[in-house]
Structure 1
Amino acid sequence: MDLVEWLITRDSIAHRADATARGFSPSHVRAAIRAGHVRRIRSTWIALEDAPRELFTAATAAGRLTCLSLARRRKWWIPDNEDNQHHLQVGPNAHRLLKDVTFHWAKPLVDRGDRVLEASVEDALAHIAQCLSQEDALSVWESAVKIEHLDLESVRAVHWPDAASRNCANTIRGMSDSGLETIFVVRLSPWGVPIRQQVMLAGHKVDVLIGTHLVVQLDGFAFHSSSADRTRDVAHDAQLRLRGYTVLRFTYAQVIHDWAYVEATVAAAIARGLHLSPAAQARRA
């Protein structure tokens, strides 16, 4: 395997010390740079032309991807109104003259050494808690818990550096199937009605169950998108109604951009006692 082939296996970018450890001598690397086969970044990194831009930027700044940048790279859920800047965890020797970069200077929770371009999951979560609103931060944290298969007790045992991070760690449930679901639950939590997530009813899980009989299904961008999915959802809704449940279904656009409508609709359903069982509704009448 030559140097270019090796770089391809490493996201097209690598620390020169790793290249040396792999058996590529410093003179071999210098020759590849002179020939234009690879690019040098500062004195310590080499990359191919197609290296991911965010990793190239991190190497140029002597930093690591963190916060929303690491979230995007690891495919965590991100609010659609967040910036597209590169978020970098950096030390005192960082290159500060880069454009479209947000620097995070705090001491790392996990020191991953100088040969990696991604901060730890814990550091990224801490930076997200500091950068975003509580609601949005919780949505990203819930997504990270699901995608990274994080244990809630382990997350809460971390020595988080600030109140925002500690609040996220103590609030997450590990139940949300999407960031949209987290936003919905966070907004309704102060209402004082029982709320459960991902409850199995009529053979399938529902996103949110309010009380015992008010089902809320949330149609995000990445879910319920195909014709087959839609057919399955309609059939499931019918089965739920036959069993006495009220089903409310909201889209991403409604939850994010027309919350007043969503809130009013759910409030009206609760006011009518639709979150209660038919027997409880009859007693209430």
Structure 2
Amino acid sequence: MRLHDWLEANGRIRHVEEAVAAGFTRYAVRGAIARKEVGRIRRSWLALPGAPFDLRRAAQVSGRLGCLSAARHHGLWTLDDGRRHLCVPRNASRFDPRDDVVHWGHGPIRPHRFELVDPVVNALIDIADCQPLDSALATWESALRTGAVSVGLLRQLPMRSSAAQRIRRGASQLSDSGIESIPYARLCRSGLAVEQQVRLDGHPVDLLVEGCVVVQVDGYEFHRSKGQRQRDIAQDRRLVLMGFVVFRYDYETVLYDWETIEREVRTAVAVAAVR
């Protein structure tokens, strides 16, 4: 097998030592570079032209993708802040951060030199310190929901960050999606009693506020069929007939018009209290 083909089959970017461990001699590596079959990033990384740019960038700074960038790479739900996040050693120097967000050092899981993406746990801890509480909580719950981490593991890991400790205490596996975690956290913070995944009329509802207001959240990634949409509306009508106030909000409203949601929910709770 040619070095080019090996790289193609292994993510298009790998450490030189990994190539040597796979059976390629250093002479063969130098020859492939000389013939421009593969490229070299700094001294230690080999890459094909189609290698993911974010991973190439991590190799350029002798670091790793971290925080939100690592979480996205691991397939977790994130609220994108539009920037690349990199982790570099505390003694790193001589690199231009450009517009990247740089995180120094590493989390409780010590990375090895062949990694270009921080482990999930390290990324979560950086997210707790870097991002707003609501969006950080949503990513942590995504990690729990997908099995990337477990509650038991998070309880055992040392966390010096007070933000990470706070999110660890509040994170659960009840949210169906990241966009559901955000209204739960925000409504709780406003002083309302909120329950998740309560069964009403034989079906779970996303949020039940003060026992009288149902909040259903339709995520951006949740493309419903016509039949599903009709069933949702029918369930909303049945809940109204049972005496509940029902609000259904979409992804954009949760993220960009939160004031309206909180005002409507709090008003509905106040009205229900005097009935």
CA contact (8 A) 2:133 2:167 kept: yes
Aligned length: 275
CA contact (8 A) 1:220 1:251 kept: yes
CA contact (8 A) 1:126 1:161 kept: no
Alignment match, 1:8: 8
CA contact (8 A) 1:65 1:117 kept: yes
Residues 188-227 of structure 1: pairs in structure 2 closer than 5 A? 188-227=187-226
Q: Which range is displaced more, 177-186 or 53-62?
A: 177-186
Q: Which range is displaced more, 115-124 or 183-192?
A: 183-192
Name the CA shift for 1:5/1:242 in 2 (closer, same or farther; >3 Å): farther
Q: CA deviation at 1:270?
A: 0.8
Q: Tell me the alpha carbon deviations over residues 188-210 of structure 1, each in whole angstroms, 9 at most, x when there is no partner.
A: 11344432112333343321122
The SS at the match of 1:182 is helix
AA at the equivalent of 2:42: R
Q: CA deviation at 1:212?
A: 3.3
Question: Which consecutive segments of 4 or more residues in structure 1 shift more than 6 A?
Answer: none
Name the CA shift for 1:228/1:149 in 2 (closer, same or farther; >3 Å): farther
The SS at the match of 1:20 is helix
Alignment match, 1:73: 73
Answering whether residue 121 of structure 2 is matched by residue 125 of structure 1, we say: no
Q: CA deviation at 1:27?
A: 1.0
Quick one: distance in 2 between partners of 1:208 and 1:44? 50
Q: CA deviation at 1:57?
A: 0.7
Gap runs ≥5 in structure 1: 275-283
Alignment match, 1:104: 103
AA at the equivalent of 1:48: L
Q: Tell me the alpha carbon deviations over residues 9-49 of structure 1, each in whole angstroms, 9 at most, x when there is no partner.
A: 22111111111111111111111111111111111110111
Q: Tell me the alpha carbon deviations over residues 91-112 of structure 1, each in whole angstroms, 9 at most, x when there is no partner.
A: 4245522422222113431112
Quick one: distance in 2 between partners of 1:95 and 1:64? 16
Quick one: distance in 1 between partners of 2:28 and 2:94? 27
Quick one: distance in 1 between partners of 2:37 and 2:235? 56
Alignment match, 1:280: none
AA at the equivalent of 1:90: P
Alignment match, 2:185: 186
Q: CA deviation at 1:224?
A: 4.3
Alignment match, 1:40: 40
Alignment match, 1:54: 54
AA at the equivalent of 2:130: C
Alignment match, 1:165: 164
Answering whether residue 139 of structure 2 is matched by residue 140 of structure 1, we say: yes
AA at the equivalent of 2:159: W
Alignment match, 2:21: 21
CA contact (8 A) 2:66 2:87 kept: yes
Quick one: distance in 1 between partners of 2:227 and 2:149? 31
CA contact (8 A) 1:110 1:122 kept: yes
Quick one: distance in 2 between partners of 1:9 and 1:231? 45
Alignment match, 1:113: 112
Alignment match, 1:281: none
Q: Which range is displaced more, 50-59 or 245-254?
A: 245-254
Q: Which range is displaced more, 198-207 or 114-123?
A: 198-207
Q: CA deviation at 1:153?
A: 2.9
The SS at the match of 1:273 is helix
Q: CA deviation at 1:272?
A: 2.1
CA contact (8 A) 2:63 2:86 kept: no
Q: Which range is displaced more, 4-13 or 234-243?
A: 234-243
Q: TM-score, normalised by structure 2?
A: 0.90
Quick one: distance in 2 between partners of 1:56 and 1:9? 17
Gap runs ≥5 in structure 2: none
Q: TM-score, normalised by structure 1?
A: 0.87
Residues 224-243 of structure 1: pairs in structure 2 closer than 5 A? 224-243=223-242
